Structures are given as C-alpha cells and as structure tokens.
C-alpha cells in the first residue's frame, strides 16, 4: 500500500463534509458550474441513462426496447464535458460526467462548468458516501431518501458548499486514484477468475454424481411428470425499466449458482414488478428458476426477498420435490445433452418452454432425492467455503476502494507525495 502521508484536516473548521486541510478552499457549487436546459425538438438524438457501475451510457446498451423519437421530444440535450445529475437518485450517487452527445430524461439536471475545476474530481466527490448522505438530506418529496419520490432541486444542489484543493492537486488526486483503480481491478479480476475455476469444479462434481454410468438402474420420465412438479411457467416477454432502487430481476446472470443470487441483479419499478409476477409468476422459496438460453442452468430460490423473473428464464414450481436434487438433475450431463439438441435460434439460441416440460431427468423417490442431494451437498461444501472466502475478499477490496476514494476527495489523505 502506498504511504500517502498525513493531512492537517484536524486543524480546519468543521463542515458537513468534515474537516479538510487548511490549504483547501470552500466554494458553492454554483460558483463552479451553471445549469443548462436545451431541449430536443425531434427526439432523434441518442437516448442516454445512468447506471451506477457504468456512468452515463446509451440506454440501448442495457435495454432492447426501442425508443420512439416522438416520446423523446422535450428531453434534455447533453454534450461531452457536462455534468449530469439524476435528481431522483442524487442521494444514491447517480451523478456523472458525460463523454457522449445525446439526450437525457427531463428529470435529469445538466450542468456546464464555468471554472477550470476537474469534473472528474467533482464526480468522485459527489458520489462519495458523505456527499450522498448530504444530497439525500437535501432532497425533497415523499420517501425515505433511498426510495420514494424525492428530488434534489437545482437551487439546493447549486447552493451546497464543497471544499476543493487547487486544480493541480485535484488532477494529482485523480491520477492517484486511477493508478490505484488499476491495481484494485487487477486484484478483483484475479479473484473473479478463481471463482470461475471453482464453478467449473462444482459442475464437474455434479456431473460425476449424476452420471448414468454410475447409476445404470435409474428411471427417467418427463420433467413435468416428476413427482409433485405442479407447474412450469415462462417469464413474461416484456422489457422492464431498470432503476437503481426497486425490485430485483432474476435473469441469466442470477441463476448461474446453485441458489438464485440477487446481489448484482438489475432492479425495476413496482409497476413493472407487479406486471412481471402476474399469472402465477411470483417466485417462492423452494421454486426453481431455469435459464433456457445458451447459458443453461437451474437455481433454487432460497430467499424470501420479493423479486421477479427477467428474460430467458422460466419458473418451476413443485411440492415435496427436493429442490437441490432437482437443481443437480437439471445441471447433469444427461439433461445438458438433451438441451444441446433442443437449442434453437439464429443468433441467440434458446430452449422452448414446451421442451423444458418434456426433458427426461433422473427420477427417484423423495427419500432417494434427499439422500443424493445430501451426498452432493457434502462434496460441494469445500468448494462453497472457498467461494465464500473469495467473495469476502472481493467485498473487502470493494469497501477499501470506496473508502480510499472518499478519503482522497475530502482531503483526509494527502496524495501529493504519492504521485
């Protein structure tokens, strides 16, 4: 770890952002930028939206729902080098520098810099936890600040006082954080590859345990006829709106593990959630989510958190079926061989729900299912324990990154000697 020196912040006056070094100066945001409100006359510019992990990006990179230009008339024009604030989500850190030409929702605010301050530095500062808390406190409307209909109005945002070092030190802080980000991302990429290796080992264990050659007397019957399977329901074929605070969506990425993992799931609004769970599509504990595209997998629902199915998955409901056994059966080589033959599609290959209903899988009594699942569980325990350790290391590094950025942009550490 680089020795970044000490700061004299403790000798400075106390503000909402804490104490900062005496060499830093306090400014109102309105002294650094001004609001810009230019509207699209025809709605033909590229629609942009914010994503916490990606910044301001083209909406069509995250949604297949085409935008109708007539619906985008009156949207705000944004240019590269401008700062964009999602007024409804400022308290969650949705404030980013634009590198693109396009249009954004009228609920966004667009600001043009009027000084030489580093917008990259300001973006990092505005997304720091202490700033997010302050913006949440200033937001007005109904809700708690993490959800609901709260809005950070331009006048309130522009009136906020912030502390800044010189432009030279701002640039030094940005360079320092970019260098540290490269090291952090290399570390995280290594850990993610280790997770992928463990997942391959897990699949090999399951394949060996469910191999017909080791149990030649097993019987097969259509999945829909497997003991106590009650229903197989396809997802709704609608494209939900993604938001940063809302109901999780279980799609392809969320069903790669043995149990459904919603930790990084996209989220949608209550309106879309209610539509997606109509017709018996509300997942419950003990159900399975089955991915039916080329990333074929099945995952058990163990959480009681409310969520909906996204795209390319279907819901398998059962009664007195051992859920983990069924997950292992659907991940077995004999099922994958069938699925390889059933995949259809010119570009993105999928399995039809009707074919999922008729998959031939190993069929055992409930007691036998329990015994087999317990044996596989025992074999997977060391893999799961290793995965938990690595996930904790990833979480610790991500927490360190957040803290490092926050400390650097609020003057709690002096990076000048480290750059």
* Averaged pLDDT of the chain: 85
Residue 147: strand pairing partners: none
Burial of 323 (0-12, 13-18, 19+ CB in 10 A): buried
Is pLDDT at 377 greater than 60 in this prediction?
A: yes
Q: Model confidence over 111-139: pLDDT tens digits?
A: 999 998 999 999 999 999 999 999 989 99
Q: What pLDDT, on a 0 to 100 scale, did the predictor assign at position 330?
A: 86
Residue 97: strand pairing partners: 83
Set out the domains of the chain in order of their start, with CATH numbers.
25-164 (3.90.220.20), 219-363 (3.90.220.20)
Identify the weakest region by mean pLDDT among 245-259, 264-278, 342-356.
Answer: 342-356
Mean pLDDT in residue range 162-186 = 95
DSSP string, 105-133: -TTEEEEEE-SS--HHHHHHHHHSHHHHH
Query: Which of the given ranges, 237-241, 352-356, 398-402, has the highest pLDDT on average?
Result: 398-402
Q: In terms of pTM, does the model score above 0.85?
A: no
Is pLDDT at 9 greater than 80 in this prediction?
A: no
Give the whole-angstrom CA distance, residue 200 versus residue 383: 10
Query: Is the sign of the CA dihedral 265, 269, 270, 271 positive or negative?
Result: negative
SS3 of 38, please?
A: coil
Q: Model confidence over 41-84: pLDDT tens digits?
A: 999 999 999 888 889 999 888 766 678 889 999 999 999 999 99
Is pLDDT at 312 greater than 80 in this prediction?
A: yes
In sequence order, the 6+-apart residues with CB closer than 8 A to the CB of 67 are 43, 47, 59, 60
Give the whole-angstrom CA distance, residue 113 versus residue 104: 18
Q: Model confidence over 207-220: pLDDT tens digits?
A: 888 776 665 555 55
For 51-83, b/e burial (b = at least 16 CB within 10 A) is beeebbbebeeebeeebeeeebeebbbbeeebb
- Nearest CA to 326 out of 296, 299, 293 is that of 299
């Amino acid at each position: 770890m680089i020795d970044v020196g000490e700061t004299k912040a403790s000798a400075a006056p106390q503000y909402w952002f804490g104490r900062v070094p005496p060499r830093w100066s306090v400014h109102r945001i309105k002294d650094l930028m001004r609001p810009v409100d230019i509207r699209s006359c025809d709605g033909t510019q590229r629609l942009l939206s914010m994503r916490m992990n990606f910044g301001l990006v083209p909406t069509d990179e995250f949604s297949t729902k085409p935008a109708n230009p007539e619906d985008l008339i009156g949207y705000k024009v944004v240019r590269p080098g401008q700062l964009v604030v999602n007024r409804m989500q400022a308290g969650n850190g949705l404030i980013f520098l634009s590198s693109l030409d396009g249009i954004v929702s009228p609920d966004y605010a667009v600001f043009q810099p009027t000084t030489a301050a580093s917008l990259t530095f300001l973006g990092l500062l505005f997304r720091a936890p202490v700033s997010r808390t302050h913006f949440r406190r200033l937001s007005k409307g109904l809700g708690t600040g993490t959800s609901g209909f709260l809005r950070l109005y331009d006048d309130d945002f522009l009136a906020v006082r912030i502390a800044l070092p010189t432009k030279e030190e701002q640039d030094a802080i940005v360079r320092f954080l970019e260098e540290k980000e490269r090291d952090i991302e290399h570390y995280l990429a290594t850990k993610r590859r280790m997770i992928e290796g463990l997942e391959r080992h897990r699949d090999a264990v399951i394949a060996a345990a469910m191999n017909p050659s080791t149990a030649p007397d097993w019987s097969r019957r259509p999945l829909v006829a497997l003991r106590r399977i009650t229903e197989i329901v396809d997802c709704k074929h609608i494209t939900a709106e993604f938001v940063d605070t809302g109901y999780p969506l279980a799609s392809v990425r969320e069903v790669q593990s043995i149990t459904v993992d919603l930790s990084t799931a996209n989220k949608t609004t209550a309106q879309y959630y209610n539509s997606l769970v109509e017709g018996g599509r509300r997942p419950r504990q003990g159900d399975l989510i089955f991915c039916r595209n080329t990333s074929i997998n099945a995952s058990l629902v163990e959480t009681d958190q409310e969520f909906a199915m996204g795209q390319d998955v279907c819901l398998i409901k059962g009664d007195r079926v051992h859920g983990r056994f069924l997950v292992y059966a659907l991940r077995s080589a004999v099922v994958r061989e069938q699925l390889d033959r059933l995949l259809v599609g010119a570009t993105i290959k999928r399995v039809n729900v009707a074919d999922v209903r008729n998959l031939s899988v190993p069929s055992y009594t409930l007691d036998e299912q329990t015994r087999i699942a317990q044996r596989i569980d025992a074999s997977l325990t060391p893999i799961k324990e290793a995965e938990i350790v690595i996930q904790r290391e990833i979480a610790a590094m991500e927490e360190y990154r957040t803290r490092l950025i926050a400390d650097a942009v609020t003057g709690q550490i002096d990076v000048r000697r480290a750059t």
